[in-house]
Structure 1
Amino acid sequence: MGKKIFLILIMWIVGISKVYAFEFSPIGFDKRIDGGQGYGEFYLDNSTNNTQRYKVKIKSTGKENDVSKYMKIYPSILTVEPKGRGVIKVYGEVPRNFQEGIYRFLLATESVPMPSLKKHGNDVNGGVSMRTNVAVEMEAYVGEVRDDIKNLNKKIIEKNGERYFQGEFINNSPRGYEIGVGFVDGDDSLIEVYSQGRLKGRGKMEVYLKIPRRSKKVIFYDYNNQVFLKDSVKL
């Protein structure tokens, strides 16, 4: 099922206009929340020249499979320095004998206005640079959900002296994945992993990547759980 991202940007321009950037990652939780395994981290990157502050909350989706009341978050107020990164820690655990399946909750951030001092001549004025509100619907699961991802239509394409890997992921599992595609050398050392975004449950994704030199195998990675998926392709 698709993920819903609600993004509201409200900007106040004080003096000269500036470009602001806000980045939230990853966009999935995808943890098993029974048996003490339900821990994940999220990142807020601030590429502005101003300190940004956010309220962070867990909210209900309003759906039958909502597990927001079992989720905990730290910190509840997050301050991110200019050009810095803030970390949000989320943990969930449901009671014993909870029914197996896929569950959801909302992870919400709301920027807290921070006055900044702007000097115009001999006067110093206060201003607010930006407000950003984001609510992301997250997936979690209870019980064993085995990997059921196939990589079909796999091809190695030669073009202008370079090699490219082309394929299509088919996800037969009900849960979603943040997919990475990696390349391994002859010593089974990882050369590089490239994020490909979110592959939703029962969904599919096309991949087309340049193959780094020395690569001997293509591997596939579950970013949020930091494990390699079963399928791989020898080059």
Structure 2
Amino acid sequence: MLKKYKNIILISLFFINSLISYSFRMDNIDFDQRIDKDGYQEYRIYNDSMKKIRYKVFIKDVGTFPISKTLEIYPKILTIEPKSHGILKVFGKGGIKLPKKEYQFILAFKPIVIPTLTKSSGKKEVVSGVATIPLAPELLMSGYVGEIDFSKHLTAENIKFYKNKKGKLIVNLNVKNTAYTGLPIGLNFYNVEKNVLDSKAIGRISKNSVKNIEVELDAFKNSKDIKYIEFYNSTLGTIVEQKI
């Protein structure tokens, strides 16, 4: 079942990224918040076309747990003007008792036909409608149950620096996440006085996993000047600081 959904998502994202005529663009495809209490994520949905578009937005369950009952969407009908964007909000509200773990769900968008007035051959105005988006995106997302202190679960290991052919300083390291859920994170690199900063978003780190990261640094020329690595998340802010 999960393989089926992953295939749908890969196909959907390919068309979303490749064909602007489909008019769908979303600034974030992660949730990664609590679904049992106080979870919240906001998304911008863009309409790059010249026509107004409308979606019915809903949650589809993955697996045996009714995750759709723990989440609230606003608005459920999203209308976006041409060359504009709409705001979609997803809330974790709880309501059912679930084990402390990570859960997956589908955030689904169904295009709705918007009736329009057009001129017929007899010069009368008639109502017609065309769905401007032939693709109905379905995005696989994750949320979790329980309180997690991510500062106890995120570490940087095997930190190595080198310079590339252009003389740019490169850092290669392993980011380890021992929590029972994944999380999108970024890394801040500081000098000892913390008045020089290089910030890099590195994406989602899956639960109980190690991810190898290699990024180019712009603010530093010498690796000896880097003394701290800070983990951060757009919702949680600074998570933990690690001295090198």
TM-score range, shorter chain: 0.7 to 0.9
Task: State the TM-score, normalized to the length of structure 2.
Answer: 0.72
Aligned twin of 1:230: 240
Q: Distance in 2 between matches of 1:126 and 1:32?
A: 39
Q: Distance in 1 between matches of 2:73 and 2:195?
A: 35
Aligned twin of 2:102: 102
Larger helix fraction of residues = 2
- 5+ residue gaps, structure 2: 13-18
Larger strand fraction of residues = 1
Task: State the TM-score, normalized to the length of structure 1.
Answer: 0.74
Aligned mate of 2:134, from 123, 131, 134? 131
Aligned pairs for 1:148-159 within 5 A: 148-159=153-164
Q: Distance in 1 between matches of 2:179 and 2:20?
A: 44
Aligned mate of 1:146, from 131, 144, 149? 149
Structure 1 stretch displaced more, 95-104 or 43-52: 95-104
What SS does the corresponding residue of 1:69 show, helix, strand or coil? helix
Cα distance, 1:79 vs. partner? Answer: 1.9
- Percent of aligned positions that are identical: 27
> Contact (CA 8 Å) 1:113, 1:130: kept in 2 or not?
no
What SS does the corresponding residue of 1:27 show, helix, strand or coil? coil
- CA deviations 1:99-128 (Å, max 9, x no partner) are 322233321112223478999xxx9x9865
Root mean square deviation of aligned Cα: 3.7
Cα distance, 1:212 vs. partner? Answer: 2.2
Aligned pairs for 1:152-171 within 5 A: 152-159=157-164, 160-171=166-177
Cα distance, 1:80 vs. partner? Answer: 2.3
Q: Distance in 1 between matches of 2:132 and 2:211?
A: 38
Cα distance, 1:191 vs. partner? Answer: 4.8
What SS does the corresponding residue of 1:32 show, helix, strand or coil? coil
Structure with the larger RCO, 1 or 2 (CA within 8 Å, 6+ apart): 1
Aligned residue pairs total 221
Aligned mate of 2:29, from 27, 30, 34? 27
How has the CA–CA distance of structure 1 residues 26 and 68 changed in structure 2, closer, same or farther, with 3 Å as cutoff? same
Aligned twin of 1:87: 87
